[in-house]
């Protein structure tokens, strides 16, 4: 099994990258069977996007803090861990956003796409699902669409639901909603097309982010799940992403 190691710029990650490369060998991405990611969730998300064109499975080892997408770090029996690992096939979201100048921006997101206010003024937006106007005005700090893998990230902090891997659902979750005051969001079939239309874009400027990729001064954002892309994420046997997501629902 040929491995390609990538690491964040944190000193602990770069040190472990050097040690593991000496121990297991460092192969090019094209030659490798598996990409091993050293760092935290941020590095994993970055590597996921970079690796889509290669179609290689990713096995992460945590050198950061939370590392929800990562496995525990150990330099022992790495190839055997990878051979027996469980696979979570992830599908990203695809964003097409148009700004006030009429320029269209595109990006993919593993976790979520978020529409956010840019100033002290609350965000006002309309929400369409499959070209049907479902909410004519949401007054909020923002609103997001999350994948099952991303449902335990920003979505959970915004009091959105946790989605099991394989649920074939997306979470539509408001961020600090003011009107409708008691609206908690919606669960949508994974094939849904969600569109946010910004209201009063000049007076209430809003940005959109696909994970950590930001576009500012947006007038509309279209979000769909891209089923043509599958990212195989590997976890240690018995500690797969599905199990982690179930356990997270019982964490205070």
Closest CA to 160 of 146, 149, 179, 140: 146
Rounded Cα gap, residues 115 and 197, in angstroms: 10
From the candidates 19, 33, 41, 99, give the one annotated as an active-site residue. 41
Sign of CA dihedral 240, 62, 8, 159: positive
Q: Convert 48-79 to b/e letters by CB count within 10 Å (16 or more is b).
A: bbebbeeebbbbbbbbbeebbbbbebeeeebe
- The residues near 7 (Cβ < 8 Å, ≥ 6 apart) are 13, 14, 16, 17, 37, 38, 39, 43, 63
Beta bridge partners of 171: 146, 187
Sign of CA dihedral 163, 166, 167, 170: positive
Contact 129, 142 (CB under 8 A): no
Does residue 41 carry a catalytic annotation?
yes
> Where in the sequence numbering do the catalytic residues fall?
41
């Amino acid at each position: 099994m040929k491995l390609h190691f990538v690491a964040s710029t944190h000193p602990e990650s770069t040190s472990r990258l050097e040690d593991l490369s000496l121990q297991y060998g460092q192969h090019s991405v094209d030659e490798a069977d598996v990409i091993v990611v050293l760092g935290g969730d941020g590095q994993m998300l970055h590597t996921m996007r970079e690796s889509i064109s290669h179609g290689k499975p990713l096995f992460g080892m945590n050198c950061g803090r939370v590392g929800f997408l990562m496995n525990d770090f150990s330099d022992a029996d790495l190839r055997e861990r990878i051979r027996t690992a469980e696979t979570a096939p992830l599908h990203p979201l695809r964003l097409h956003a148009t700004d006030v100048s009429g320029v269209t921006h595109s990006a993919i997101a593993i976790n979520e796409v978020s529409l956010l206010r840019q100033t002290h003024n609350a965000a006002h937006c309309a929400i369409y699902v499959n070209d049907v106007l479902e909410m004519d005005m949401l007054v909020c700090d923002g609103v997001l669409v999350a994948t099952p893998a991303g449902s335990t990230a920003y979505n959970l902090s915004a009091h959105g639901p946790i989605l099991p891997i394989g649920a074939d659902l997306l979470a539509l979750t408001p961020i600090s909603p003011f009107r409708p005051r008691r609206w908690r969001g919606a669960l949508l079939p994974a094939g849904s097309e969600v569109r946010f239309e910004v209201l009063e874009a000049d007076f209430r400027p809003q940005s959109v982010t696909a994970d950590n990729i930001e576009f500012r001064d947006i007038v509309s954002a279209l979000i769909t799940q891209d089923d043509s892309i599958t990212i195989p994420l590997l976890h240690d046997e018995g500690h797969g992403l599905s199990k982690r997501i179930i356990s997270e629902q019982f964490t205070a």
